[in-house]
Amino acid sequence: MSETEAPVVVNNFLRDIVSADLASGKHKEIVTRFPPEPNGYLHLGHAKAICINFGLVEEFGGRCHLRYDDTNPAKEEQEYIDAIEADVRWLGFDWGRHLYHASDYFEQLYLWAETLIEKGLAYVDDQTPDEMRLNRGTLTEAGKPSPFRERAVAENLDLFRRMKAGEFPNGARTLRAKIDMASGNINLRDPVLYRIIHTPHPRTGTTWCIFPMYDYAHGQSDALEHVTHSLCTLEYDDHRPLYDWLLEQLPVPARPRQYEFARLNMTYTVLSKRSLTQFVKEGHVDGWDDPRMPTIAGMRRRGIPPEAIRDFVKRAGVARANSVVDIAMFDAAVREYLNKAASRYMAVLKPLKVVIENYPEGQSEELEAVNNPEDPSAGSRKVPFSRELYIEQDDFMENPPKKFFRLSPGMEVRLRYAYFITCREAIKDAAGNIVELRCTYDPATKGGNAPDGRKVKATMHWVSAPHAVNAEVRIYNTLFSRPDPGADGDVVKDLNPNSLEVIADAKLEPVLAARNEKTTVQFERLGYFVRDSKAKGLVFNRTVGLRDSFAKAQ
Ligand code: ATP
Ligand code: MG
């Protein structure tokens, strides 16, 4: 089956849940949310969560909130907040007026923490983080109650208020839920609800020095926003009992449900903000938007269209079983979209000069070239042709093996949109390298067909030498040299030393320089490329290669 006919498998158990809840009347409309923590740039895994949350609402109606899970001022930055919004929009989703922050709820969350204390369901613990860890127990052993667990309500309230007032240093005390130190679920062994962090918060400044933990803030934020389906990844599966416990104990205005789906994992790719941050900070890549990064910003700079990302996420499906998607499936989704959408141009990456001996010196002409054979509405353009051309070094062999049908001495081939040419001689330098081909053309084959019906076995791309513009072309390979980076413990060790190949002197069809094209284009027979958005000169990034060159396909 060809790539373009691949079936789109849409496996999504969350759609079934939502559709049943609407059918039964449990909900009149659904409310979902995408809740990033602004401590890094969004990556392809987040794109999956974004597509799921916004996608359900696109399909079933309702609304999807963008909510910053900004509960840890020590790790969060405004740069990340801005990037997240730009990235979600670029993917094609809109939260309308529903932009929220967990920090919007700090006051209410604080009051509810007092409610828990008053109900005897929370206490201030003076244990150090190490003591708490030791006393938490293990999967097979119950935890030990804190010596502060039985503090009176009044003392807890007083200490919690003094924590809020800034009387204690970082780590001196925490507020913990009083649930069950012997629970089989470690998340229920008196989880920490609040900790002291004396770091200014991007939004609340120094108003707060106690901050709610994710597990405490999340469900209550969902309830405050009347979220119906709170969708998260599988690692939160055993946090759900705590999510539910808190909602049961507190006078919340709504009762959201949490559902978990499998994270997106992909071969040759690391989707962990912590590791991606490390690559940026240690300089293994050129920033968060390095085109080799699986960040949305990196993919955008590499020329990957948002439609292809959305299509890929849909094909990868939404399931509860963890799996690893083959990166080839991602590339196929990108190619499939670009094959339909991208305009074609000619570019020569490794140039070999060709002189057409019987084409008059000083003459040139403009030939008609189709912009996109997949899309007649894309029209055509003029490509200059002259006596001196460039072709790809790889398209010539002096002593070709049997199945090599491209150019070799005596062989006739078609130059795309131009003429048939025949190679007469290969000129070498003193060291024996081929530096130039002498060819002749058949003027009767203009446009690429011979009136006598004779056939050639190859069609090659080319660029007119006096008209060509020089460009740098960056070819990206996978960022890792093994499909399962980090499997031996160290992802940095698995970085691919050949993930970037720079071609300094590619020759492009002149219109590529004139037109400040921001969209991804096809260089015929080579792949898809996009003008780099940051480089000053003419630099193109390879988005993805073509699976087959048309020399083979035709
Ligand atoms: P990371 O593990 O990369 O640091 P995170 O889960 O800590 O990611 P958040 O900002 O908290 O990052 O994530 C926001 C949302 O994106 C969460 O609902 C999270 O479950 C989801 N998400 C994160 N990584 C993936 C992934 N690989 N596949 C699907 N969803 C993901
Ligand atoms: Mg997280």
Residue 300 belongs to domain with CATH number: 3.40.50.620
89/221 same-domain check: yes
DSSP code for 6 = -
Which residue CA neighbors atom 9 of ligand 1 most closely? 36
Is 58 designated active site?
no
Is 310 designated active site?
no
115/69 same-domain check: no
* Nearest ligand to the CA atom of 233: 1
Q: Is residue 40 part of a domain?
A: yes
Ligand 1, CB cutoff 6 Å, lining residues: 35-37, 45-46, 48-49, 69, 232-233, 263-264, 271-274
Q: Is residue 283 part of a domain?
A: yes
pLDDT values of the chain reduced to their tens digit, one per residue, 554 residues? 344 444 455 678 999 999 999 999 999 999 999 999 999 999 999 999 999 999 999 999 999 999 999 999 988 888 999 999 999 999 999 999 999 999 999 999 999 999 999 999 999 999 999 999 999 999 999 999 999 999 999 999 999 999 999 999 999 999 999 999 999 999 999 999 999 999 999 999 999 999 999 999 999 999 999 999 999 999 999 999 999 999 999 999 999 999 999 999 999 999 999 999 999 999 999 999 999 999 999 999 999 999 999 999 999 999 999 999 999 999 999 999 999 999 999 999 999 999 999 999 999 999 999 999 999 999 999 999 999 999 999 999 999 999 999 999 999 999 999 999 999 999 999 999 999 999 999 999 999 999 999 999 999 999 999 999 999 999 999 999 999 999 999 999 999 999 999 999 999 999 998 877 789 999 999 999 999 999 999 999 999 999 743 334 33
Overall number of domains in the chain:
3
Domain, as residue range, for 87: 13-103+216-329
Index of the ligand 1 atom closest to the CA of residue 214: 11
Last residue of a domain, one of 157, 189, 214: 214
Q: Is residue 335 part of a domain?
A: no
Q: Is residue 484 part of a domain?
A: no
208/111 same-domain check: yes
304/388 same-domain check: no
Lookup: tokens for 132: 């708490």
Helix crossing, 306-316 with 44-60: angle to 10°?
A: 80
281/376 same-domain check: no
pLDDT of residue 518: 84
Q: Answer whether 413's CB lies under 8 Å from 454's CB.
A: no
Is 37 designated active site?
yes
C-alpha distances (whole Å) from 186 to each of 138, 143, 291, 368, 465 are 8, 9, 40, 70, 70
121/188 same-domain check: yes
Q: Is residue 154 part of a domain?
A: yes
Q: Is residue 93 part of a domain?
A: yes
The enclosing domain of 387 has a CATH number of 2.40.240.10
Q: Is residue 428 part of a domain?
A: yes
pLDDT of residue 135: 97
Amino acid residing at 492 = V
Q: Is residue 248 part of a domain?
A: yes
Last residue of a domain, one of 408, 426, 461: 461
Lookup: tokens for 367: 């030939």
C-alpha count within 13 angstroms, C-beta hemisphere, residue 97: 0
Q: Within 439-482, where are the H helices?
A: none
Which of the following is catalytic: 203, 273, 310, 474?
A: 273
88/37 same-domain check: yes
Which residue CA neighbors atom 24 of ligand 1 most closely? 45
254/192 same-domain check: no
Helix or strand (DSSP H, E) at 440: strand 434-442
Q: Answer whether 388's CB lies under 8 Å from 415's CB.
A: no
**Per-residue b/e over 200-226, b at no fewer than 16 CB within 10 Å?**
ebbbbeeebbbbbbbbbbbbbbbbbbb
Last residue of a domain, one of 329, 361, 381: 329
Q: Answer whether 545's CB lies under 8 Å from 526's CB.
A: yes
Question: For the whole model, what pTM was predicted?
Answer: 0.93
133/269 same-domain check: no
231/320 same-domain check: yes
CA of 45 to the centre of ligand 1 (A): 6
Which of the following is catalytic: 144, 161, 263, 457?
A: 263
pLDDT of residue 266: 97
